[in-house]
Structure 1
């Protein structure tokens, strides 16, 4: 929990054997081909080429949104203040924007490491609200790391961290679930979102064996962690 692995990112400098992306593959015709009938591997190739070609632009946009969040976002500013009360300051200088290359366990939009700070995946965060939610999620992880001595190999710790981060960051608000993720349930929508996202995050951990182990870890700590809203007085939505 205290030291989750960060997503793999692109190298800041290309090695000598680096092969430039095939621009001919990143075309509107290929986009519609992938969108309508493309195989999963074609889609992955298309997105990889797109992300590499747009890396500089995406990182600049991400850095601009990051700086806006630290100046204007109530939840980000509150979490920064609360972390500063119990540990070192966590500011924009500790948050890096990089292109993320996703592994076989799915995509991600950010990560936290006590050694390196927060990583935001510039190619995934296309608007201010999504970056704000992701940054708040990772800052809850940072708060928990400072507040507790956690074991990164302990799935119960990881599950508690993910439950609290999904619950407190605002990423499970009804409107985002309804319009952004196609989740149309009204009853227990918030709890279902937190549980689903926490389970997916635990499953993505390197030391988690399967879906059953991830769900079991979340169930074991659900009651206590879902009811722990610190440092907020109540759930921020």
Structure 2
């Protein structure tokens, strides 16, 4: 992973086979699934959304508080504020990145394991950038927290990071992807076999700490006491597989994740256990 330009916004966030051996490649000869149409993204229209970027930001904020801006308008407002605060967000992200490289046990451990596979992760290829979010025609908001590119390295979306702990989880997730790629040379976008993508997403969500009980309950408000961890890992893996262009729909993503679940959820490498 040589230093270069920031990685493109490929899904990781985001998100190799990591079972006891690399997954079989016998599906490469199958006919490629039909790709779903790309979503149409909406531009802001003040008459429709109630958000007017030509007036002061605090006036728009007051309009939001009084219910005069639609949910779509709130997303456009959020994006404009991220754009205005880009330099501040990136500077904070870079400071937190340096701290984690120096003091975080999980980040230091994964960095050593990547180095043992002749990979390098440092400030040159772990970059902080603003990642634009987009509002799809069906109302979905398409955003990401980070991404991994074999050619470029790791992208951290500075504007999406709530705090240093959130950045630590995101960075650990992408570093698991980096280790998997160096270990198995993953088919990232599922051009031949989506099981690669499903497996690395299961492992990254499981090992990064983003599905631990305190994160699920305190941050996301999920208070399920049984199977919470497994449900979180499965859900995040399905969502990430759905972002691949060769995935047809949520049923297809769920089927692929289920096919590799047992072996990949049981594989803790390069850790011995799930520590976070």
TM-score, normalised on structure 1?
0.87
Q: Deviations over 1:2-51 (max 9, x none)?
A: xx96259xxxxxxxxxxxx9463522x43354366432320121011111
Q: Which runs of 4+ in 1 moved over 4 A?
A: none
The structure-2 alpha-carbon separation of the partners of 1:116 and 1:199, relative to structure 1 and needing over 3 Å to count, comes to same
SS of structure 2 residue aligned to 1:207: coil
1:186-201 equivalent positions in 2, closer than 5 A: 186-201=225-240
In the comparison of the two structures, how many residue pairs are matched?
A: 221
Higher helix share: 1
Find 1:128's aligned residue among 150, 164, 180: 164
Distance 1:24 1:54 in 2: 17
Which structure 2 residue ranges, 5 or more long, are not aligned?
A: 1-6, 12-51
3-state SS in 2 of match to 1:165:
helix
Kept after mapping to 2: 8 A contact 1:96/1:119: yes
Alignment of 1:108-127 (within 5 A): 108-127=144-163
Q: Structure 1 stretches of 5 or more lacking a match? A: 9-20
Match of 1:224 in 2: 263
- Label 1:160 to 1:57 Cα distance change in 2 as closer, same or farther (>3 A): same
Q: Give the 3-state SS of the residue equivalent to 2:160 in structure 1.
A: coil
Contact 1:7 1:100 in 2 (8 A): no
Deviations 1:77-104 (A, max 9, x none): 0000001111222123211100001244
Q: Is the 8 A contact 1:7 1:101 kept in 2?
A: no
Aligned mates of 1:31, 1:208 — CA distance in 2: 38
Q: How does 1:1-237 map to 2 (within 5 A)?
A: 6=9, 22=53, 24=55, 26-27=57-58, 29-34=59-64, 37=67, 38-103=69-134, 104=136, 106-152=142-188, 153=190, 154-237=193-276
CA contact (8 A) 2:53 2:77 kept: no
Instruction: State the structure with bigger RCO (CA 8 A, min sep 6), 1 or 2.
Output: 2
Question: Given that residues 131 and 157 in structure 2 are in contact (C-alpha distance below 8 angstroms), is that contact kept between their aligned partners in structure 1?
Answer: yes
Distance across 2 between alignment mates of 1:59 and 1:83: 25
Separation in structure 1 between the aligned mates of residue 209 and residue 76 of structure 2, nearest angstrom: 32
**Judging changes above 3 Å, is the alpha-carbon distance between structure 1 residues 47 and 194 closer, same or farther for their aligned structure 2 residues?**
same
The equivalent residue for 1:13 is none
Counterpart contact for 2:197–2:241, Cα < 8 Å: yes
